[in-house]
Each structure stands twice: as structure tokens, then as C-alpha cells.
Structure 1
């Protein structure tokens, strides 16, 4: 694939990413986005705090720290102004471009076909399944996971499974965890798959993986210590699982996040949308509040097992086959990528592509936590590149078959 095609893909990704901002009424830097509120508190010198509508609920670990820190840097430079939102949107469009361009080398690495990557990038540009959401880390996490796979492969190919490579991989994986709390499921599986394909002893592989995990832990440790000192509990990455589980599993909840926000009975339970819930959190403290919510959710699940299983099944379906989103066109594009990605995975299995099982495993592992809470397509964005890669692989395979049939006179 020549440089001209790569440049065309990049230009298309830039245009596609910019146009996708039209899905939102502006940059979306409003009171309902926790990362933005934390960033405002950081820029104002109030620390990592107050994620809910700017209300003084106190110190938080609602989100991992890296993305709010990025936004805080913009607010520090520009203030809470439209200019800060414009720069954040521009950075997110750039991340969208990077995400699209990286599909070419990741396809070359995993399925040995840059053409499949070009088809995947074309699919990402034409549909596109990824919305540019400057108030969330999702696209950054997706691009980061692809970079992690490419970089760790390059390091291990050059230096093997040595301690220095383990340090690099661990630091990179830890940084991704501080960006998105679910990424360790993918980075861990990738390192297992990668080390398995290197011809060294089991002891060397085990040492490498142990060292990598240790270096990842060292990278995350300052955040854990901060949470222990400030919040009174060693929160590993984020603290809001109890809240989300309670919001998603109750007598009024449905599988869709947007659908739940429309239900007053559910909306009143979330501190972002309810002054009463914010006051409860401020009074109890974030850790105690989330522990109480976790207990309430587990009690409801225990008493309503059938309803919980139905909700879980519906969330599983809607994670891969969205129903309730902000745009019917977006629903269509995500469904299209899902179908093409699944078709590509089937072709990979039939053709015995070694990476097929990693790609399938990464998608399934990443999705598992989200079957427990209400879903929206944004939650899938960090792993959408797998479906795009599968779709590109299928389109390349189908195009080759059509060309052969045409040349054979069958078409």
C-alpha cells in the first residue's frame, strides 16, 4: 500500500472525525460530564474532586486520573472557555485520525495484510462507527491499545523478553489503565498471546509477565496511594462501581444508559442528575456512598435473579447491537461494523489466522464488565478497532474472491 493511499485515509479520517462532531450540540462540555467537572476542579486548584455538576461533593476517584488531567491542562491554559472546548475537540479529532491510520499497521501485524487494514480504515472513514466525544477518553483508549500492541511487539522482537522490555510494557499498560480502567483485560491478554508466540522457556515467559505486571503496578501505585490517603481506601483505578451497579439494577432500570436517564425514577439516583443524591454523597463521602450502593444493588440482584438475568442478557445484546442511541444513523453504522466484524472473525477462523483468537478474546473480555451495567456505544469505542479490523479483513477477502470470479468469467 503506497503513501498516497495512507494520506487519503488520514485525510478522510480527519474529515470524518470532524463531521461526527455534528452528532453533538456543541463540544458537550456541560455539567453532566464527570471528567469535565473534575478537570475544572483541578484547574481551579480544588484537587481531584467534585465530579457531579460542580457540586462540592469532595475528593473523588470516580474516574482514572489521566484524561481529567489532560482536560485540566486545557482549562489551565485557556480557562473554562469555548476555546478550551475547541482545542479538546481538535485533539479528539486528531485521536480519531490516529485511530484510523493505526488500523493499517495493526492489520499488518495481526493478519499480515496491510490491505485488510486499508479496508478497515476505509470502513472507519465511511461509516463512521466512532463518534468524536471530546469529553470522554474512549477514542484515546482505543488508539492507545493499538499502539501498545504495536510497540510491545516491536520491543520484544528487538530485545526479547528481557527486564527492560518488561519495564516498558508495564509502564505503558499502567498508563493505559490510568486512562481507562478496563484496558488491563486487553493488555494482559495481548502479552500472554505475544509471549506464547516467542520461542523461549516457560520460566522466561513467566518471569517476563510477572515483571510486566509489577511495573504496571508501580505505575498505578501513586494513584492508589493517593486514594488511600485522601479517600480512606486503596481504590485501584475508579470508585464508582457500586453506584453504576445500583443505577443499572433496580425495578425501574432498562439495559440502555440513555433510556435510564430518561426515567425519572433512575435519574434521581445519580448524583450528576439529582441534588438529593449529590447531598447524600457529600454527607457520607464517596467511598461509603458507593459501598452502600453496592450493597443495595447486590441485595436487589439477590432478590430478583430472573429480572437481573433478563437485564444482563439485554445489555449483552445491546452492547453489540445498539438500540437506543442519540442517532439512528449511528445505530446503523455500529450494527454494520458489528456484522462485518463478525464475518471477518469467521473467515479468520476458517483460514486459521493465529490472531483470530486474541481478537475474539479481547473483544469478549473487554465487554464482560459492561454486561453488569447499563450500556451505550461509547463504552465499546476502546475495542471498536477489533470489529473494524475484522470488517476490513472480510472486505478484503470478499474483494479478492469477486476479482477471481470476474477474471474466471463467472461474473
Structure 2
């Protein structure tokens, strides 16, 4: 292959531009098919849109169900605040705001190409880096989600990729400012999507062990510095939550509700007198009656009672959620055969390839004793755990998709005999 062409197709900036173009093209195609008055309202009819609306109207971080119910700790603050800024500039619940929010999501998603590329280059060379980035640029889930969900999903994917890259780079850093910046990055990530925090202690532990094994002085000092900076980033919002709700709520407090959504009598076909369906109206009314803390306490009690009294069923539900997390639905083969949509079938095939590629890539890294195999394994092993016990969808797992595609690229590169350059 000519060098100029090789340099072109392995250019991270070209791939990032292609990623942005793919996402914007999908958005442009979809928005032509949907009335703009629908796009101006329906995508915002969820917790992020409701809280952003309250912020834009000067009511603060509140009104999670678009009712005057007061302050909330339902979500982490960063993405609703970004959306509130869009509302203030382009109007609340307008097509212009929807347009701006989708473009912002497209930017975040395309930007993930850059840290993914450099992390992959460190792990497997330029061939793996370029392949990882191109897979991310054209991956159907990543192309669709910036339009499909006005949520922190695309931003979380970018932050997860940035954390992976920064973690790998820090193995050789002895500069305190690098570790402080790493702590700030973690602080931003947690204030965007606290679910990312599940692998924070493990990545810091891995960094500490790496430094000890390499004989680096002050091995523990820098990881502890990162941890301290991360903690300081999260303290102001946690204090805000304590002031409002008089209990410790680190960043976000909706876990009991999410746990109950995936663990209730609807899943027990033999339940007598249990709930038959869950409606937004019903939950909003109960929330308004009880207030947020009592509402969460009730959901926590109901969820744990269901789990403790349905042990066998709970294991089945976990198995179904694991399947849905990795393959898209609880019955992927049946759903693949029953759908008439070519796009849906492509998504199913892509999910299966990525699941197999992730496993194969990890096996190859460990067999080759790649020094970065452990952090690559931690992300797919740990991140989905919370969704195995609550409820899941492809958008929930999306923050780890860049890592999964990197591992898939490792598998493909090995299959086709690509050498590390």
C-alpha cells in the first residue's frame, strides 16, 4: 500500500472527521422523517430534559418529573447542566435545541475516536489503532445513539475512552500535574456518569502495582494524589445533596429506583396482588406524594424484598440481563429471525461480532502477556455488573463500547496477521 494512502487511512483526525460525518448523516436522514414538532418535545420527555428545563427556568436542579417537586439528586449534574445551557440559548423544548443537543452528542461521540486511537496504538501498534478507530467511527450503535438519546451516553463513552488512554499513559509519568489532571478527568467522569466509578479503584490499584513492580519511587503517592483530587471534585455536589436531603448521597441517588425497575412482581408470573405495570404517571404521582428520599427508601425496600424472596428467579433475570447487555436483547436469535428490519439485523450481527471479538482480544492479550491486558479486562468485566442486577440496554453499556471495539480490533489484527508497528 502506498505510504501516502496508508498515512491517510491511519490518520486519527481523518477517522474522527469520518465518525462525525457518519453520525450527522444518520441524524439528518432521521430528522427528515419525523415531524419537527415531535422532535422538539418527545426526546426531552425524560429526567434529563425535565431537570434541564428547571435549570433553564431558574428553578435549580429540580423537578425530575416536570412537576414542582423541588430539588433532586436523581441524576449527576454535568449533562443536565449542559442541556440547560442549550435551552437558554435555543429555547426550551424547541427543534433548535434538539438540533444543538444532537450535534453536541455527535461531537462527543466522534471525539472518542482520539483517545481510543492513542490507547490502541500503545497496546497494539498503528494497525490496531487505526482499526479500532474505524470500527468506532462506523459502529452502528455509536452512529445511532447521539440522535436516539438526549442523555449523557455519548459523553460517557468519550470520557471512558479518555480514562483508558490516560491510565495507560500514566504508567510512565512521574509528573504530579499529570496525576492531578487524571484526578480531574475522573471527577468530571463521575459527575457525568457515576457508573464509571466502578473501575476507578481497580485502575488505580493496577497503576500502583505497576509502579511498585517497576521499582518506581513514591509508587503509591501519585495514585493517592489522583484519588484525593477526584474526591475533592465530587465533594461540592455531595455537600449540596446532603444539604437538600439530609443524608449522604454521593453524586446521584436514583439507584434504588433502577434496582426496583428490574426486580419487582412484574417478573414473577405467579405473583398474587402484585403490580401489573409501571407507568410514568403513577411513579410521578407517588414521588410527588412521598418526596424523593421516602420514594427511594420505598423502592429500595421493595427491590431487596423481591430479590431475597425470589432467589432462583433472580438468577434467571441476571442471566437474561447479561445476554441483553452483550447481544442486544434477552432472546437475540429469536428477535433476529422475527425482525423485518435490515438495520436491526445488522445491529444484532454487530453485537455478536463485538462480543466474540472482545473475548478473543482479551485472550490474545493475556496469552501474549501484553502489559496492558489487565486494565483492558477490568472495563468489560466490571462496568456492566450494575446492569446485571438492575436492568439493561445497549445504551447503558455504550460507555465501554470503545474498549470493546479496541479488543475486537486486537482480535481482527491477529486474524489477518497485522504486526505491531
Q: TM-score range by the shorter chain?
A: 0.7 to 0.9
Q: Give the Å deviation of 1:155.
A: 5.7
Which residue, out of 347, 369, 373, partners 2:390? Answer: 373
Is contact 2:161–2:403 with CA below 8 Å preserved after alignment? no
Which residue, out of 192, 195, 205, partners 2:205? Answer: 192
Give the TM-score normalised by structure 2: 0.83
**Is the counterpart of residue 346 in structure 1 residue 363 in structure 2?**
yes
**CA deviation digits over 1:350-409, x for unaligned, max 9?**
22212222211221111111111111000111111111001111111122279xxxxxxx
Is contact 2:128–2:409 with CA below 8 Å preserved after alignment? yes
- CA separation of 1:202 and 1:301: change in aligned 2, threshold 3 A: farther
Which residue, out of 372, 377, 380, partners 1:360? Answer: 377
**CA deviation digits over 1:248-291, x for unaligned, max 9?**
1112139xxxxxxxxx93323xxxx22x3212211211111101
The alignment partner of 1:178 has SS state of helix
Give the TM-score normalised by structure 1: 0.85
Tell which deviates more after alignment, 369-378 or 186-195: 186-195
**Is the counterpart of residue 219 in structure 1 residue 230 in structure 2?**
no
**CA deviation digits over 1:38-90, x for unaligned, max 9?**
111100111111122x1223211111000101101111111112111111111
Q: Distance in 2 between matches of 1:328 and 1:251?
A: 32
Which residue, out of 118, 132, 135, partners 1:105? Answer: 118
**Is the counterpart of residue 277 in structure 1 residue 294 in structure 2?**
no
Is contact 1:245–1:373 with CA below 8 Å preserved after alignment? yes
Q: Distance in 2 between matches of 1:357 and 1:297?
A: 33
Q: Give the Å deviation of 1:240.
A: 1.1
Q: Distance in 2 between matches of 1:153 and 1:302?
A: 41
- CA separation of 1:28 and 1:125: change in aligned 2, threshold 3 A: farther
Q: Distance in 2 between matches of 1:148 and 1:190?
A: 10
Which residue, out of 231, 234, 253, partners 1:239? Answer: 253
Q: Distance in 2 between matches of 1:107 and 1:381?
A: 18
**Is the counterpart of residue 141 in structure 1 residue 164 in structure 2?**
no
Q: Distance in 1 between matches of 2:59 and 2:118?
A: 42
After TM superposition, the structure 1 = structure 2 runs for residues 3-42 of structure 1, keeping only pairs within 5 Å, are 3=8, 5-6=10-11, 7-21=13-27, 26=39, 29-42=42-55
Which residue, out of 181, 193, 197, partners 1:180? Answer: 193
Q: Which residue number corresponds to residue 168 of structure 1?
A: 181
The alignment partner of 1:204 has SS state of coil
Is contact 1:247–1:266 with CA below 8 Å preserved after alignment? no
- CA separation of 1:294 and 1:213: change in aligned 2, threshold 3 A: same
Q: Distance in 2 between matches of 1:127 and 1:31?
A: 25
Q: Distance in 1 between matches of 2:359 and 2:173?
A: 33
After TM superposition, the structure 1 = structure 2 runs for residues 327-338 of structure 1, keeping only pairs within 5 Å, are 327-338=344-355
Q: Which residue number corresponds to residue 272 of structure 2?
A: none
- CA separation of 1:61 and 1:202: change in aligned 2, threshold 3 A: farther
- CA separation of 1:401 and 1:114: change in aligned 2, threshold 3 A: closer
Q: Distance in 2 between matches of 1:11 and 1:149?
A: 21
**CA deviation digits over 1:200-246, x for unaligned, max 9?**
66983333333322221111011111111112222102111111111
**Is the counterpart of residue 303 in structure 1 residue 316 in structure 2?**
no
The alignment partner of 2:267 has SS state of coil
**Is the counterpart of residue 267 in structure 1 residue 278 in structure 2?**
yes
Tell which deviates more after alignment, 376-385 or 307-316: 307-316
**Is the counterpart of residue 45 in structure 1 residue 58 in structure 2?**
yes
Is contact 1:88–1:134 with CA below 8 Å preserved after alignment? no
The alignment partner of 1:220 has SS state of helix
**CA deviation digits over 1:311-356, x for unaligned, max 9?**
1121122111212699443333222222222222222222221222
For the aligned residue pairs, the C-alpha RMSD in angstroms reads 2.6
The alignment partner of 1:118 has SS state of helix
**Is the counterpart of residue 75 in structure 1 residue 81 in structure 2?**
no
Q: Distance in 2 between matches of 1:126 and 1:203?
A: 43
